[in-house]
Amino acid sequence: MKNLKKRLQQGETLNGCWLNLGSSLTAEIVGQAGFDWVLIDLEHGAGSEKDALYQLQALAHTSVGTIVRVESAESQRIHRVLDMGAEGIMCPKIKNQDDAQKVVNGLHYPPHGNRGVAKMVRATNFAQNFNQYYEASRDTILGVVQIETKEVLNHLDAVANMDGVDVLFIGPADLSMELGIFGQFDHPRFKEALHKTVNAAKRAGKATGILFFNPDDYKTYHDLGIQLIACGADATFVAEGARNMAKKLNEARSK
């Protein structure tokens, strides 16, 4: 474990990015690049749960912490990737406290949740250290819920105060879409939702996170106190690198 949860609780700002190609090779490349954490995306990414396993294996020898975004709060989706060795779970489209409770239930073993018990899994070194993993899991597994629906904006304090919810992570694309101002991140309605989320997290002693698309926006969000910061993805890095190289070669050919 790379102690993402502890580091956030100590007030660190952690820089990360998305992995959405489903590739263990690009995961390994990104894992060696200098980020604090990466997110393996099973909601919109190209990979399956099996691909997530290969990515987790590829990242194991790097310094990054690993979060997996599951496609729903169904407990099977959550505990399967935890058993594979994920350090945290991100769940999209949270609407209210009931949705957030489903996430928390999937994260933790009884009596704190309903995560199924399996010893012969990668997370426990295939039964070699189940007891240690079980005892430490409450303090090490990171629970991240996404703030990207209009409804959840009316339940932010209830969600933030839940034991097991560690990060309120703003999904700017979906949230701005729901607010009817898609992509307008300077719009007053988006800014109001952003500040409302950050303030609810602060009142509860929890962290806030966000994904943005331009690294020049870093200071804006960092100055608000947002700690779990993501910018870019393996697909973006490959696409931009390929386009830039093709452009340079084409320009050289035309001279």
Q: Where are the alpha helices (DSSP H) in 127-181?
A: 130-140, 156-160, 172-178
Give phi and psi for 157, each to the nearest 5: -65, -40
Distances (CA, A) of 181 to 72, 170, 184, 196, 235: 25, 15, 6, 17, 26
Give phi and psi for 26, each to the nearest 5: -70, -30
Q: Is 222 exposed, middle or buried (0-12, 13-18, 19+ CB in 10 A)?
A: middle
* Active-site annotation holder among 44, 61, 155, 187: 44
Question: 187 an active-site residue?
Answer: no
C-beta neighbour count of 11 within 10 angstroms: 9
Tokens 């991100």, residue located: 90
- Measured distance between the N- and C-terminal CA atoms of the chain, rounded to whole angstroms: 52
User: CB within 8 A of 163, min separation 6: which ones?
Assistant: 104, 112
How many angstroms separate the most distant Cα atoms in the chain? Answer: 70
- Catalytic positions: 44
